[in-house]
Amino acid sequence: MDSELPKRLHAEGAEPQCDKINKCARMSILTDLANGVKSEYTEVKRDPLFAKIIAIHENRLHFSAKLVHSFMTRQLVTAKKHELWFVFARRPLRFSLQEFHAVTGLKCVADGNSDETNWVDDGGFWSTMLKTHGKISFETIRKKHLQEANTWTRVDRLRLVYLCVGFFVTISLIVLRTNGNSIETLVVLLSLV
């Protein structure tokens, strides 16, 4: 069966070995948000765009980083842009946007309605959160902003929940790009959780 497969990204037996797996993209901040700003968290959970991501956390469907690494190092080279193929037990395994949609329920096509707007420092929530002299992280959100959230408006508490979910997705994408993987790799990661 091996002779019929396309060329592998890394030759069999020459796959890169991983010394460390990035475990920074944890979603535990969502538990803190669920406890700290419960009604806003529940509202974001009903948002079809974010519901699937929050469901991953709530159902404790965390992936094994070593399993994902194993798949990525056994990737086959193919010409199709929106498919990933892997060798598993010397057999090809396909994962495309079609399977991603079936697993997650997320849309896989552009809707064409995205209007880009330039950010304006208006002194509001996003200005406060995004324009900081230090770095914003889950730790600062957990230790500082979540403690202050009860004094904020309801809309700003909703924004905090959206920010944290967006952070998780962004961190995942940065880790993938840093490791030389494509956006399609996120499809594989989400499918394994």
Number of compact structural domains in the chain:
1
Residue 135 domain-assigned (yes or no): yes
Residue 183 domain-assigned (yes or no): yes
Asked whether 6 and 156 are in contact (CB, 8 A), the reply is no
Q: How confident is the model at residue 3 (pLDDT cuts 50, 70, 90)?
A: low
pLDDT tens digits, 15-62: 656 555 444 456 677 888 888 888 888 988 888 777 777 777 777 765
| pLDDT on residue 190 | 47
Q: How confident is the model at residue 120 (pLDDT cuts 50, 70, 90)?
A: low
Residue 114 domain-assigned (yes or no): no
Residue 113 domain-assigned (yes or no): no
Residue 115 domain-assigned (yes or no): no
Residue 104 domain-assigned (yes or no): yes
| pLDDT on residue 87 | 76
Residue 19 domain-assigned (yes or no): yes
Name the residue range of residue 78's domain. Answer: 2-108+120-192
Q: Hey, what are 147's tokens?
A: 């403690």
Residue 59 domain-assigned (yes or no): yes
Q: Which residues, at least 6 apart from 91, have a Cβ–Cβ distance to it below 8 Å?
A: 1
